Amino acid sequence: MKTMLLDAGNTAVKWRIVSPDGPWSDADPRGTIPVDTLRLAEELQDACNAAGGSLSDAAGCCVAPQPVQDAIDQATIAALGRPVRWFSAAARFESPGISLHNGYRDPAQLGADRWHALIGARAARPRGTLLVVSAGTATTVDTLTDDGRFVGGVIAPGIRLMHDSLARGTARLPRADGTYRPHPDNTGDAMQTGIVDAQIGLIERRIGRIRADQAAASARGDDADDRTIHVLLSGGNAELLYKAWADAQACDPAATAVTRSVVPDLVLRGLRVRSTREPPT
C-alpha cells in the first residue's frame, strides 16, 4: 500500500505518492499545486484517484492558512475516506538510524516543515554536522549537530520576498528579474545579485557560528574527529543558491571543510520517515 505525502507551504502544496518501504524514486507520482488555486481540492483528489486502490494513507505538514489545510482534507476524505494525518514538530524523534532532539525552548513553536526537513536531512546524511537550508518563500538555515541536536536556526525573507520589498519600498527600482553576475552592470542584475549574495551571506554566517562553536569545544578539549560541515539545500531556490555560491566557495581556503549539495524535497523525505515510524491506527 502507498502513502500520499503533502508539504503545504506558504505558496504551494507539494505532494508525492510513495511506498513506505520502497526506494525514493524519480518515478514516484508527484506534483505541485499553488495554494491560491480554486481547484486545490479537486486537483489533489484527482491525484489520489489516479493512484487507484494502492493508495491507503495521507500524511503531511502544513504552514499554510487553515483553509488550505481544510481543502486538502476535503480531497483525501473524498478519495480515501479519511483526512490527512497532520504532523507537527516534537521534542524528540527516534527512528532506526535517526535520533533528533529539538532545541527550541518551546519545541511546538518550531515550524512543522523545518522539523521534517531536519528529519529528511538526517535520513539523507546519517552522520556529521548539518546545515539545513530551505530556500523557498522564506529562507531558513538550521543547524543539526553530529549527535542529533537541533540547536537552532534563522529565518529570513526568501528571494521573491526580498524583490517584492525593494519594489514596494523604493520609487525607481523595478519589479524585474535580473541575472546573478560577479559584477552587475545594470539595475536588474544588481538587485538579483545583491539579493542572492544576501542569502548566501546568511548561510556563510551560520557556518561561521558553527566554526566558533567548534573552536570553543576544541579549547575545552572536546575536539570532534570530523569538523566538516555538510550544507544541504532544498526548496525552490536551492539550485540558484548552489550555483551562485559555487564560485565564491571555490576561492575560500576554509571551504575545504564544507560540503554542499542540493537534496530536493527534504520535507517530504522527512514525512515519509515519520509516517512509516508512526503508522495510521
The whole-angstrom distance between residue 116's C-alpha and the CA centroid of its chain comes to 8
Spatial contact of 60 and 16, defined as CB atoms under 8 Å apart: no
Q: Find the largest Cα–Cα distance for the chain.
A: 60
Spatial contact of 143 and 210, defined as CB atoms under 8 Å apart: yes
Question: Cell triple for residue 160?
Answer: 521573491
Please list the alpha-helical segments (H only) found in 17-98: 40-50, 66-80
Could you tell me the residue ranges of all domains in the chain? 2-86, 92-267
Q: How far is it, in rounded angstroms, from Cα 68 to Cα 164? A: 23
Q: Measured between alpha carbons, how far apart are the two ends of the chain, in Å? A: 15
pLDDT at 141: 99
pLDDT at 217: 86
Instruction: Point out the residues that are catalytic.
Output: 113
pLDDT at 116: 99
The tens digit of pLDDT for each residue in 102-152 reads 999 999 999 999 999 999 999 999 999 999 999 999 999 999 999 999 999
SS3 assignment for 70-138: HHHHHHHHHHHCCCCEECCCCCEEEECCEEEEECCCCHHHCCHHHHHHHHHHHHHCCCCEEEEEEECCE
pLDDT band at 38 (very low <50, low <70, confident <90, very high): confident
Q: How far is it, in rounded angstroms, from Cα 212 to Cα 208? A: 6
Pairing of strands 2-8, 55-62: parallel
pLDDT at 254: 58
Amino acid at 35: V
pLDDT at 197: 97
pLDDT band at 255 (very low <50, low <70, confident <90, very high): low
| Mean pLDDT in residue range 168-173 | 88
Orientation angle between helical segments 187-219 and 159-169, nearest 10 degrees: 130
- pLDDT at residue 7 is higher than 60: yes
Give the predicted TM-score (pTM) of the model. Answer: 0.94
- pLDDT at residue 251 is higher than 70: no
Instruction: Centre a 10 Å sphere on the Cβ of residue 77 and count the other Cβ atoms it contains.
Output: 15
Q: How does the average pLDDT of the chain come out, rounded?
A: 93
pLDDT at 275: 96
Specify the CATH architecture of the domain 2-86.
2-Layer Sandwich (3.30)
pLDDT band at 221 (very low <50, low <70, confident <90, very high): confident
Residue 166 to residues 6, 132, 183, 273: CA-CA distances in angstroms?
32, 27, 20, 39
Equal fold, 2-86 vs 92-267 = yes
- Write the burial class of residue 90 (CB in 10 Å: 0-12 exposed, 13-18 middle, 19+ buried): middle
Q: Which of 43-47, 57-61, 247-251 shows the lowest per-residue confidence on average (mean pLDDT)?
A: 247-251
Paired residues of 259 in beta bridges? 230
Residue with cell 537534496: 263
pLDDT at 196: 97
pLDDT at 20: 82
**CATH number for the domain formed by residue range(s) 92-267:** 3.30.420.40
